[in-house]
Amino acid sequence: MHCFRALAMGAALVALGSCSSIVQGTDQSIVVNTNPPEATCKLEREGQQIGAVLATPASVTVSKTKHDITITCEKDGHNPATFVADSGWESGSGAAGIALDVVLTLGISSVIDSATGADNRYQSPINITLVPANVQGSVGVDETRPLSDGEWFGQDGDWQLSLTVQGDQVTGEASGGDTEALAVNGRVLLDNVVDARVKRNKDAAWATLSGFFPRVLLIRNGQIEATFELEEKASGSAEDAAPAS
């Protein structure tokens, strides 16, 4: 019995890095996207700069804590814009994580994770609108959607994206390299922000599609996989009307 207790305590000490660290890791990537793009941004936490973006869109790797991150973006000819990324409870670090924690560390690491914030996660991707400096008066969120319903296409390297916009609904398909065709389903929100899930088979989400329409990002595992500059397919175009040879 004494031997078992000694072994158990030893295992607990070895695993003090915490269960969430094992399951989810202590770092994460935050994707920052601005409209217009090519803005510079700094990330601050508790008054200290912890990261920077030289030109949006881009991703930044940060450590996970219980403290929020303030993201400030600037671009010539535009007013600075600030966004606060909330440190919230990370999906998947709850009951399942605690169950594994009990096995590995006798429950000690859960206390450590809650204290340090390693079981938290920041919002990503983040979309920030920069207002031109010459715009006078109070500028709120643009609730109009100037994009028209129809079919849109874009390509980045081996990746191809085709979308159909109908009202605020977005459906389509993404494919790239040796990846099988992925179904896209989502919405166009206020300020033309695209929020869509990219699924393979019945996966909840293989990746996400986000950005300011018609410029959207394909984001996988916190990293930008592709950037699409979408163009609308003109109805009755010459290539559509060309007779088959």
Kindly report the three-state secondary structure assignment for every residue of the chain.
CHHHHHHHHHHHHHCCCCHHHHHCCCEEEEEEEEECCCCEEEEEECCEEEEEECCCCEEEEEECCCCCEEEEEECCCECCEEEEECEEECCCCCHHHHHHHHHHHCCHHHHHHHHHCCCEEECCCEEEECCECCCCCCCCCCCCCCCCCEEEEEEECCEEEEEEEECCEEEEEEEECCEEEEEEEEEECHHHEEEEEEECCCCCCCEEEEEECCEEEEEECCEEEEEEECEECCCCCHHHHCCCC
- Confidence at residue 148, expressed as pLDDT on a 0 to 100 scale: 75
pLDDT tens readout for residues 62-93: 999 999 999 999 999 999 999 999 988 444 44
Instruction: Give the number of other CB atoms < 10 A from CB of residue 64.
Output: 23
Instruction: Compute φ and ψ for 105, nearest 5 degrees.
Output: -130, 15
Judged by phi (left if over 0) then psi (alpha if -120 to 50, else beta), residue 25 lies in left
Higher pLDDT, 6 or 215: 215
Higher pLDDT, 210 or 135: 210
Weakest-pLDDT range from 32-36, 107-111, 124-128, 187-191: 107-111
CA-nearest of 85, 82, 106, 89 to 15 is: 106
CA-nearest of 240, 244, 87, 233 to 153 is: 233
Higher pLDDT, 91 or 26: 26
3-state secondary structure 29-76: EEEEEEECCCCEEEEEECCEEEEEECCCCEEEEEECCCCCEEEEEECC
pLDDT tens readout for residues 105-122: 444 434 444 454 556 889
Confidence of residue 235 (pLDDT cuts 50, 70, 90): low
